[in-house]
Amino acid sequence: MGQRAKLVAANWKMNGNTPDNDRWLRAFRDAPPKCETVVCPPFVYLQQVAAGLAGTAAGVGAQDVSDRALGAWTGEVAAEMLLDSGVTWVILGHSERRASFGHSDAIVAAKMERVVAAGLRPILCVGETLHQREQGLTMAVIAAQLEAVLQRCPAAQLVVGAIAYEPVWAIGTGRTATPAQAQEVHAAIRARIAAHDPHAAAGMRLLYGGSVKPANAAELFSQPDIDGGLIGGASLVAADFLAICAAAAH
């Protein structure tokens, strides 16, 4: 397990503007984190963030990508365009897109094929709703989300990226999974991947996401199967994101 370097990704969601982003990027460059990081702004700010992070070790990520090939798809952004804009990472299957924009497991799997074909690094989000957890369906839901992707893209192709366990009930709610709850699901996700490919499972970074803050990050990241975090709200404040990165760098 020790061979997996911690990874912390910032998901800005639909937040930001040019001057605020510049201030954030300056703060980041002034105190570059010691762990691996990725910053995922809205599409229109990808090039600003890529320029602002140039010369640092941080990667730039998009929050989604089209499942279509280049062509007449108004409003879509292709994987090739992301690469062309200095992007190396893509978040896929975030619960906000699954719940509000109709991204089914099949659509997420189709997007994953585009990401892998383009040579981008995926952050695949999986996770259950509170209702599903209360029904005892947590692992069944996550297994279906994983299998839809693994049927089309072998685990060995995904290991350049990461899988983020994000319980829907913990996203933006201030309610974090306990480290033990998160570890239990992370271990089950790793076992599921191992059933396909034990080598890929051992190397796959599993991130936890859901109300991670400077105050709870260290304990979450100390769990054996938690290899970092996907950070939403707390990533908007550079100092908080850097403090979370510091917790991962220990």
**Residue number with CB closer to ligand PEP (78 or 217):** 217
Element (H, E) at 244: helix 238-248
The total number of residues shown for the chain amounts to: 250
Sole window of 40-48, 99-107, 153-161, 164-172 interacting with ligand PEP (rule: CB under 6 A): 164-172
Angle at 227 between CA 202 and CA 91, to 5 degrees: 100
Measure the CA–CA gap between 240 and 180, rounded to whole angstroms: 23
**Residue number with CB closer to ligand PEP (167 or 197):** 167
63 contributes a contact to ligand PEP by CB under 6 A: no
End-to-end Cα distance, the chain: 15
Measure the CA–CA gap between 207 and 228, rounded to whole angstroms: 5
Sole window of 28-36, 43-51, 126-134, 224-232 interacting with ligand PEP (rule: CB under 6 A): 224-232
231 contributes a contact to ligand PEP by CB under 6 A: yes
- Position 39: which residue type? V
Neighbours of 220 (CB within 10 A): 26
Q: How far is the CB of 64 from ligand PEP (least distance, A)?
A: 12
Active-site residue, 94 included: yes
166 contributes a contact to ligand PEP by CB under 6 A: yes
- Of the residues 94, 103, 128, 186, which is catalytic? 94
In the complex, residue closest to ligand PEP by CB: 232
- Of the residues 36, 96, 128, 166, which is catalytic? 166
Angle at 156 between CA 71 and CA 84, to 5 degrees: 35
The residue within the footprint of ligand PEP, chosen from 6, 7, 8, 11 (CB under 6 A), is: 11
Residue with tokens 């908080």: 240
- Site residues for ligand PEP per CB under 6 A: 11, 13, 166, 171-172, 209-212, 230-234
Tell me which residues are annotated as active site: 94, 166
